[in-house]
Amino acid sequence: MTKKIVMVTGVSSGFGFRTCQKLVEAGHHVVGTMRNLRDKNARNAERLESSVDSASGKLFLVEMDVTDDQSVAKGTKEAVSSAGEIEVLVNNAGIGLLGVCEGFTGEQVRRIMDTNVAGSHRVTRAVLPAMRNRKNGLIIYTGSIMGRIVVPFSAPYTASKFAIEGMAEGLAYELKGSGVDVAILQPGGFPTEILDKSEGPADSSALDQCKELCERNDDLWKMWFGMLEEASPDIDLIANAVQDLILADPQDRPLRKIVDPVTGGEPAKILNAAASKVQRELLDGIGYGDMFRE
């Protein structure tokens, strides 16, 4: 199996933590990034390091805040110095907001877009020039089936995932033929720490005006979290999907990969197929069909 130098952002918990573990266990050299590496997340960093002590690959942990240009530049430089030129980037860092839309402040919405969307763009820009020069590389975006379908009481989070879809697909077109590939992972629901860390609306006065909506919000997430707890989908499915994308032949690698063991992801599959057809026809129609990716 070909070993790669992989950067995974946001590895303090959840998808990032387990993906980091699995890739190191598979023999890759993995740069895991997280904020507050030596204080707030020091215990998580220690857990991750100790868990791959005897693995065949290597782990390099780097401090990085994806919302800060200087932090991304410094972290990327340290990553390359420690592990070598990044061959695969897994944009995983992100935050969640769940609740009644009008209760979220502008600052909360700015923060989720800065982290989930602009954050992935910052890190992509940091590693892309070297990939382009080598004519080889892979950039994986962690999207969501909620970047295709809309569930009430998750509007800011859903908006960020829709934006990731547009950002990643646009980049995939622009990089067609460069040797650098783009893939979008579309997970369904998994019981990861992001559910516990997700913020609710900060404007309580706005929520006072829509108490019935708040009750329906509580009912929906109680039902959904209960379903996830009962189904208990294995987070390894996400880590394995990342590994599959890394090892795939570029000619066969799909632009989107759904991982949704709870519902099967059928609505997202239908929307992916419909969008792909529309996009192919659009690009063909304007004379840019050679840039199409599916």
Banded model confidence at residue 193, pLDDT cuts 50, 70, 90: low
pLDDT at 229: 86
Please give the Cα distance from 191 to 234 (Å, whole number).
9
Query: Using N-to-C axis directions, what is the helix angle for 106-113 and 155-175, rounded to 10°?
Result: 30
**From the CB of residue 232, how many other CB atoms can be counted at a distance below 10 Å?**
11
pLDDT at 197: 76
DSSP string, 98-141: -S-GGGS-HHHHHHHHIIIIIHHHHHHHHHHHHHHHHT-EEEEE
Mean pLDDT of the chain, nearest integer: 95
Q: Looking at the annotation, which residues are catalytic?
A: 157
State pLDDT tens for residues 89-124. Answer: 999 999 999 999 999 999 999 999 999 999 999 999
Cα–Cα distances in angstroms (integers) from residue 141 to residues 169, 255, 278, in the given order: 10, 10, 22
State pLDDT tens for residues 24-81. Answer: 999 999 999 999 999 999 999 999 999 999 999 999 999 999 999 999 999 999 999 9
Sorted by where each starts, the structural domains of the chain and their CATH numbers stand as 5-291 (3.40.50.720)
DSSP string, 165-206: HHHHHHHHHHHTTTTEEEEEEEE-----HHHHH-B--S-HHH
Cα–Cα distances in angstroms (integers) from residue 292 to residues 136, 171, 204, 286, 289, in the given order: 19, 11, 46, 12, 5
